């Protein structure tokens, strides 16, 4: 890797794989973590990995439940396949977490890394964070037909109220 990644960033990136829903929320809600490309990359990759594993197990379970109504061996086969896939998911999660701890940006198959690169692009330092007061104020100030400052010099903007 070309740049040195701090120990805290490596820890956050490694923990984002086993705790992917929580890590994804924290990364998106924290303006500081959103601007760290290493943590952002691994949080998005962990999210896409976790969602694909979760949806895959739901689809496999639904298919096995539907087919199991007609063929009884499907239930036994589903049980064995689910255990093997669960072990595989655990190994992929542990390997990804280990790679993040080492400070590497690794790739995963099945377009997961492409989605990660697409969504984890770096955020420019001068861009406002979502939900910041400056962003909402700028939006309100840019509305057409609205005056830029409240009438009669008041700061509240409500007619009839005394200036503060």
Alpha-carbon distance of 101 to 39, in angstroms, equals 11
Q: Report residue 150: phi and psi, to 5°.
A: -65, 150
Higher pLDDT, 155 or 44: 44
* Predicted confidence band of residue 140 (pLDDT cuts 50, 70, 90): very low
Quick check: 27 and 38 in contact, CB under 8 A? no
- Taking phi over 0 as left and psi of -120 to 50 as alpha, with beta for the rest, 36 belongs to beta
Question: What is the rounded average pLDDT of the residues 77-82?
Answer: 86
Q: Which CA distances in Å does 162 have to 140, 152, 154, 155, 157?
A: 22, 9, 6, 9, 10
Nearest to 121, CA basis, from 56, 35, 24, 55: 35
pLDDT for the residue numbered 143: 46
- pLDDT (tens digit, 9 = 90+) per residue, 54-74? 999 999 888 888 887 788 787
* Predicted confidence band of residue 144 (pLDDT cuts 50, 70, 90): low
- pLDDT (tens digit, 9 = 90+) per residue, 17-43? 999 999 889 888 888 888 888 888 899
Alpha-carbon distance of 160 to 156, in angstroms, equals 10
- In total, the chain counts a number of residues equal to 164
Angle in degrees, CA 102, 41, 125, rounded to 5 = 115
The answer, as to whether pTM is greater than 0.75, is no
pLDDT for the residue numbered 155: 53
């Amino acid at each position: 890797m070309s740049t040195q990644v701090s120990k805290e960033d490596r820890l956050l990136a490694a923990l984002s794989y086993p705790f992917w829903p929580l890590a994804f929320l924290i990364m998106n809600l924290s303006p500081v973590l959103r601007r760290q490309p290493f943590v952002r990359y691994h949080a998005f990759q962990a999210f896409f990995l976790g969602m694909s594993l979760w949806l895959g197990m739901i689809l496999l379970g639904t298919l096995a439940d539907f087919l199991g109504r007609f063929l009884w061996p499907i239930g036994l086969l589903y049980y064995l396949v689910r255990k093997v896939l669960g072990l595989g998911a655990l190994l992929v999660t542990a390997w990804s977490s280990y790679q993040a701890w080492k400070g590497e940006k690794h790739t995963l198959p099945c377009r997961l890394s492409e989605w990660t690169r697409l969504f984890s692009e770096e955020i420019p330092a001068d861009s406002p964070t979502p939900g910041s007061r400056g962003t909402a104020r700028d939006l309100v100030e840019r509305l057409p037909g609205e005056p830029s400052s409240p009438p009669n010099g008041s700061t509240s903007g409500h007619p009839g109220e005394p200036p503060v």
